[in-house]
Amino acid sequence: MKKILFTCLLLLFAFNVYAQTVPLTINIEHIGSNKGNILVGICASAEEFAEREPCKYSFSMQAEKGSMTKQVNIDKGRYGIIVYHDENSNNRLDMAMFGKPKEKYGFSNNTYGAYGSKPPFEEALVNVDGNTNVTIKLRK
């Protein structure tokens, strides 16, 4: 009997540890039009943030001019978030001459690198350890 009870408690603990997701609410502002999609990447590592690997979490949604809010449940941790408005629905951020983006984009903490480029991963990190809200303001 003790063995069965111990096994049940161990399984209950294991499921509880595994299911440690928390809500992350992402507010996206300055969406220029209803055309295309808003693409979001929630990156758990510098390699993901640099787009050398797929982000741990990603999703897209139909663009709505002005602002949008999306809530997702993710594992606790530290993440860098990338958002861009894919106006022509080709699933990538279109670039003009000299690498300047043609479509609006933004990063967590509303931080940018030199000349509006992607910031270092450490500067974009958001600590998600409970109900967390992030606002990202898109820009070109």
pTM score, whole prediction: 0.84
| Alpha-carbon 120 to chain mean position | 15
Q: Locate the DSSP E strands across 1-63.
A: 21-31, 37-43, 57-62
> Model confidence over 18-73: pLDDT tens digits?
558 999 999 999 999 999 999 999 999 999 999 999 999 999 999 999 999 999 99
Q: Which residues have CB under 8 Å from 135's CB, separation 6+?
A: 26, 27, 28, 29, 110
* Distance of alpha carbon 87 from alpha carbon 125, whole angstroms: 26
- CA-angle at 11, arms to 9 and 14, nearest 5°: 110
